[in-house]
Amino acid sequence: MKVDQDEIGKLPFFKCAPIGCAAEGPISDDVISKLLTGRNIIITIYIRPGEGLRHVLSLDGFADGYKALK
């Protein structure tokens, strides 16, 4: 995963079902800060080694949503 061009880490899948897989992990204060100030998050999902699907998602509204959850 990347926020804009900054690498923020990798998360392994912990559970898969016919409709998809889930990944989870801790989020540090540094990562939250990058999500709050970033423009896009880039997530690459690897189906096989070297074969990934890249998704670019806007972080517009993330800061407002995060603030509402606190």
Report pTM: 0.78
**Cβ contacts of 38 within 8 Å, gap of 6 or more:** 3, 4, 6, 59, 62
Residue 28: how many CA atoms within 13 Å on its side-chain side? 6
- Tens digit of pLDDT for each residue in 12-70? 888 888 888 888 888 899 999 999 999 999 998 887 888 889 999 999 999 999 999 98
Domain that residue 45 falls in: 2-69
Pairing of strands 51-58, 6-7: unpaired
Domain count, the chain: 1
How many helices and strands (H and E) does the chain possess? 2, 6
The type of residue at 27 is: I
Q: Give the CATH number, domain containing residue 9.
A: 2.60.40.1880
